[in-house]
């Protein structure tokens, strides 16, 4: 049963996976650090030792969360039977590389794609434990279709300049509610006088 921390745990899972694979693929020499980034972090890139995004880096930015329309009805049906409400969600992500040279950024982006294609299903030990995952829980990380207009709009809403990014989708992140309490059976007591 995934708890309310499942979205954050999914982001952490992706970042942990990227960092683990980056270290395996590039044991020596420069390698990027994957980070979970927010809009504020884009304005602070490499500006201080405490900046979240420091060169070289690969940022994982969640720009939207939506309800998964294909799984919503199925999980509602399960909830009707067992009394546990569930909502299946999709995390829309932008993966971007950061470095002083465009060639390096393209290499880091290529490396991130290689990792996410190889390990596109996050399950078991690949899921960050803070998500309160249940046995059998998994999250699929796949490329997303994002029209160029939408990508431009996403960056227009930010104060940072356009950044070469790849859209990804983490699905299905399911958040489970507390079980509905079952009503006590009604008993009739007959009193003889």
For residue 85, the model assigns a pLDDT of: 77
The CATH fold of domain 6-175: STM4215-like (3.30.2000)
pLDDT average, residue stretch 8-29: 96
**pLDDT class for 84, splitting at 50, 70, 90?**
confident
* Per-residue pLDDT tens over the stretch 71-80: 766 656 565 6
Percent of the chain with pLDDT over 90: 58
Q: Which residue has the higher pLDDT, 181 or 5?
A: 5
Q: Are 164 and 97 in contact (CB under 8 A)?
A: yes
HEC profile of the chain: CCCCCHHHHHHHHHHHHHHHHHHHHCCCCCCCEEEEECHHHHHCCCCCCCCCCCCCEEEEEEEEEEECHHHHHHHHHHHHHHCCCEEEEEEEEEEEEECCCHHHHHHHHHHHHHHHHHCCEEEHHHCCHHHCCCCCCEEEEEECCCCHHHHHHHHHCCCCCCCCEEEEEEEEEEEECCCCCCCCCCCCCCCCC
| Residue ranges covered by each domain of the chain | 6-175
pLDDT average, residue stretch 2-15: 95
* Per-residue pLDDT tens over the stretch 127-186: 999 999 989 999 999 999 877 666 666 667 666 777 889 999 999 988 888 776 655 665
Q: Residue 191 and residue 102: Cα distance in Å, rounded?
A: 87
């Amino acid at each position: 049963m995934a708890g309310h921390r499942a979205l954050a745990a999914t982001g952490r899972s992706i970042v942990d996976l990227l960092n683990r694979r980056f270290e395996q693929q590039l044991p020596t020499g420069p390698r990027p650090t994957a980070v979970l980034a927010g809009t504020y972090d884009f304005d602070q890139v490499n500006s201080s030792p405490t900046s979240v995004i420091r060169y070289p880096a690969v940022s994982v930015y969640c720009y939207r969360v939506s309800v998964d329309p294909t799984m919503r009805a199925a999980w509602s049906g399960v909830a009707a039977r067992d009394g546990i409400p569930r909502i299946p969600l999709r995390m829309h992500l932008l993966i971007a590389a950061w470095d002083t040279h465009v060639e390096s950024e393209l290499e880091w982006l290529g490396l991130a794609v290689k990792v996410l294609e190889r390990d596109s299903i996050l399950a078991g030990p690949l899921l960050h434990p803070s998500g309160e995952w249940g046995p059998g829980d998994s999250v699929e990380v796949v490329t997303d279709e994002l029209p160029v207009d939408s990508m431009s709009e996403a960056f227009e809403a930010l104060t940072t300049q356009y950044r070469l990014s790849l859209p990804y989708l983490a699905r299905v992140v399911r958040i489970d509610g507390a079980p509905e309490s079952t009503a006590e059976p009604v008993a009739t007591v007959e009193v003889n006088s």
